[in-house]
Every structure is written in C-alpha cells, then in structure tokens.
Amino acid sequence: MKNNGRFIKRAMVIGGGIAGISASIDIGNAGYEVVLVEKLPSIGGRMLQLSETFPTLDCAQCTLTPKTVETGQHPHIKLLTYSEVDEVKGKAGDFTVRVRRKAAYVDWEKCNGCGLCQEKCPSKKPSEFDRAMGLGKAIYTLSPQAVPNKPVINPSNCRYFLEKKCRVCEKVCPVGAIDYEQQDRFVEEKVGAIIAAVGFDLMPKETFGEYGYGVIPDVIDGLAFERLNSASGPTTGEIKRPSDGNIPKEVVFIQCTGSRDPERYMPYCSRVCCMYTAKHARLYKHKVHDGQAYIFYMDIRSTGKGYEEFIQQGMEEEGILYLRGRVSRIFRDDGKIVVWGVDTLTGKKVEISADMVVLATAIQPQGEAKGLAQKLGINTDDYGFFTEAERKLRPVETNIEGIYIAGCAQGPKDIADAVAHANASASKVQGLFAKH
C-alpha cells in the first residue's frame, strides 16, 4: 500500500485477546481496515482459557466465541496469527511494521481444518494451554472453536523434528497441507495508527517455592483451576486432583500470592484475584457439594458493579469460609497438603489438611512487552506495563502520537475494564483518522 504523502487510514492491533478483538471490531465497524497481529495460532487470548466469568457466572466461551467468529469473518479485519511484530518505523499516519509470520509447518492455504492430523498424532506432552493439567499433541489448535481453525506443529514436541521419525500427520492429511520445510517469513504492513493490547502473564511457578508450587503437584494456580473447571478442559469440567485424579474434598485458596508483597514480589494489587477466587470457590461448591472451600485473604477488594454482592452470596449461600491472614507454611503429609496460617480476626492459628491448594498468583506484563515497547518507542513502568501519556485525562494514549494501549498491557484489569479500555483506544484511532 503506497502512501504518496497521504495519511494512511488503516490500523494495526497487536494482541488478539478480548481487548484486541474489541478494538479491532470497533475500528472495522467504522469502515477502516485493521491488521490484527496475534502471536498464538488463534485469537481469544486468556479469556479462551476461562470456564465462567464473574459476577454473572456466564460461560466464557459463550461470550467470547461470537466475538472471535465475528473478527475472523469481518470484511475489514485481516488476521495475522502465529505472528509477532519485528520492527516498527515511521510516524502517525505512516507507520511501516515488519511482522514475522512464524513457521506453522502446515500450509494454511491448503488446510481445511478437518482435525485428522491432531486425532492421529502419537506425540503427547503436557499442554501449555491447559497449564499442564492435561496432555496436548505435537500438532494442535488451541481450542475446538479456534479462529482461525488451522493447526500448527510444535517442533520441540514433534517426533519428526526430534528423531526424524513418525510423519503420521503428513500421511493422514487428505489435502497434503503438512510442510516440514516451512520457514519463518516476513511481511510489511503500512498503517496509520497502532494499538498495543498484548495482555498479561502470571508470575511463573518457579517463583513460589515456599508455597510448594511446582513441587507439590496438587498446588496449582488460578488459571490451572480454570482449565479443570472448563467443559473443554482436560477433565471435561470435573474437579480432580492432578496427582491422582481424586475429587478434592477440602480446597484452600490463597490470595495475594506475589501481589502486594513489596519485600519479596510485586507491590501492586493484581485487581482481579479477589473476584476470581470467590468465583472459583463457588464453582467448586457447585460441583463438589460436600466439599469445603477456605480462602486466605489480606482484605477483599470488590470494586465493580455487583462484585460485593457476589462475594457475600458465596459466604452466605455456599458456606465458603474466609480466613483473614497470611499463610506461613505449606507441606505434604501422608497424601494431604497441610496449610499453616493464622486468622488475624480471632488471633488463632489455623491448620488445614487440604486435598488441593489454589494460588491467586500475581498478574505481570506479558513476556515480550518490554521488547515491543522498545520497538514502538513507548514507555513502560518499573514492572514492564505500558505507560499512558497522562493517567487521568489521557489513559489510552502514549508518548508517541498514533500509538495507543489497551487492556492488561497497561496494568491488571478485569474483562469489563479491558473491553472499555479497548473501546476507548479504538475511538481515539477513529478520531485521529477523522482529522485527516
């Protein structure tokens, strides 16, 4: 697309989670072209991993899938999945973005998404998407509703790439779409504005040795618990212990694991943990009626519409036991996980022999966020979240004209706030285009 000195009224959105999708649809519906770049093979982001959402307990997929389908079929949205931004040059109205399209080892032009390759693939390794709660194949899509519904091969799990054996997927593919020789390639896109909506990561389990995370198999994080709850997850929605597949009768949820802990971890609040822990405890009680849920908390931050009522319902109707205090020690004893803590309201020590422990680990910037910020020339805070131009009055603009931020790339947010932030970014892009 040649510029010829004109302002290019075409946008790029980096990140295909709920924020990136919402921004893309808004700009596309305004009649402008959008290039949506997503590093994973399909769009949907973290919300794709969730089972239900608070405070309504709506099915996450039921809310998200219509949006991913709309994005995939939108006449003004060009999807570049399994792709990453490599270089950014230019200024507002005339950015040139070089995008690396990673080798999928599958020719997506030929592939019809039949799924036979995934079905027949013999290689099984812990699934990153399922937080290692289940096994995944070397050739995979992220979910049954993936958009686009095209598989990729992970060479680090594939027997052909590791041992030069197998090639089962190539043999069973009816359209000859498998291409083991495929290489990364680069494309250039000309755009007038950019929205960075790269989402978040959770603090890695290696960080939390004192909680037994990564050592005791039945100590998991909140996202792993989401996968256990999900009907499309590894246990088809049954709550089972990873160690032995038994149904846990006592579950301890621990909030602020890595958040609000300036001495050892992150000083900031991750904002969503109070609510998703309350949701997890309620969902657990819905499925394990004779089970008991305990929640260790510092204090409860339920600031959204209907949020406080949601937490009160959990206490009053589901019998969820909230214990105000920190956990001092977690260790294994005869198949149980012993949790030592203190209830600061009563001043009494607490000891619980649990079957499973779920940690509300801190939200942190997405792994490549700082590198992307450098490519874009925008600022980050001390932790790596993108910094807005002015916190109160310019919450989605950056220090570079024509570059905006959306969702958890700027800081921890729930889904509603991330979508509102994305809508604001999209409106800023439309305003910029309307001026030229």
Task: Say how far apart CA 211 and CA 214 lie, in whole Å.
Answer: 9
Same domain, 279 and 356: yes
Asked if residue 307 is part of any domain, the answer here is yes
Identity of the residue numbered 128: E
Q: Is the pLDDT of residue 2 over 50?
A: no
Residue found by looking up tokens 């593919």 in the block:
173
Higher pLDDT, 145 or 405: 405
Residues 377, 196: contact at Cβ < 8 Å?
no
Same domain, 267 and 331: yes
φ, ψ for residue 419 (rounded to 5)? -70, -45
Task: Say how far apart CA 189 and CA 84 lie, in whole Å.
Answer: 12
pLDDT score of 144:
84
pLDDT digits (tens, 9 = 90+) for 223-235: 999 999 999 899 9
Residues 222, 283: contact at Cβ < 8 Å?
no
pLDDT score of 5:
65
Same domain, 138 and 78: no
Task: Say how far apart CA 271 and CA 148 lie, in whole Å.
Answer: 31
Asked if residue 108 is part of any domain, the answer here is no
Three-state DSSP state, 59: strand
For residue 44, the number of C-alpha atoms closer than 13 Å in the C-beta half-sphere is 25
pLDDT score of 370:
95
Q: How confident is the model at residue 145 (pLDDT cuts 50, 70, 90)?
A: confident
Same domain, 260 and 300: yes
Three-state DSSP state, 269: coil
Asked if residue 78 is part of any domain, the answer here is yes
Same domain, 207 and 135: no
Asked if residue 233 is part of any domain, the answer here is yes
Domain range spanning residue 227?
203-363
Same domain, 398 and 332: no
Task: Say how far apart CA 143 and CA 430 lie, in whole Å.
Answer: 33
% of the chain beyond a pLDDT of 90:
95
Same domain, 207 and 337: yes
Same domain, 195 and 49: yes
- Characterize the bridge pairing of strands 356-361 and 250-257: parallel
Give the residue from 345, 363, 381 where a domain finishes. Answer: 363
Q: What is the largest CA-CA distance in the chain?
A: 74
Same domain, 137 and 246: no
pLDDT digits (tens, 9 = 90+) for 326-344: 899 999 999 899 999 999 9
The residue-averaged pLDDT of 159-163 equals: 95
Size of the chain, expressed as the number of residues it contains: 436
Same domain, 128 and 267: no
The residue-averaged pLDDT of 165-178 equals: 96
Give the residue from 314, 337, 363 where a domain finishes. Answer: 363
Give the residue from 311, 344, 363 where a domain finishes. Answer: 363
pLDDT score of 300:
95
pLDDT mean across residues, the chain: 95
pLDDT digits (tens, 9 = 90+) for 46-97: 999 999 999 999 999 999 999 999 999 999 999 999 999 999 999 999 999 9
Asked if residue 177 is part of any domain, the answer here is no
Same domain, 212 and 348: yes
Asked if residue 258 is part of any domain, the answer here is yes
Q: Structurally, how many domains does the chain consist of?
A: 3
Q: Is the pLDDT of residue 4 over 60?
A: no
Task: Say how far apart CA 113 and CA 133 lie, in whole Å.
Answer: 25
Asked if residue 191 is part of any domain, the answer here is yes
Same domain, 163 and 227: no
Q: How confident is the model at residue 1 (pLDDT cuts 50, 70, 90)?
A: very low
CATH number, domain with residue 293: 3.50.50.60
Q: Is the pLDDT of residue 194 over 50?
A: yes
Asked if residue 2 is part of any domain, the answer here is no
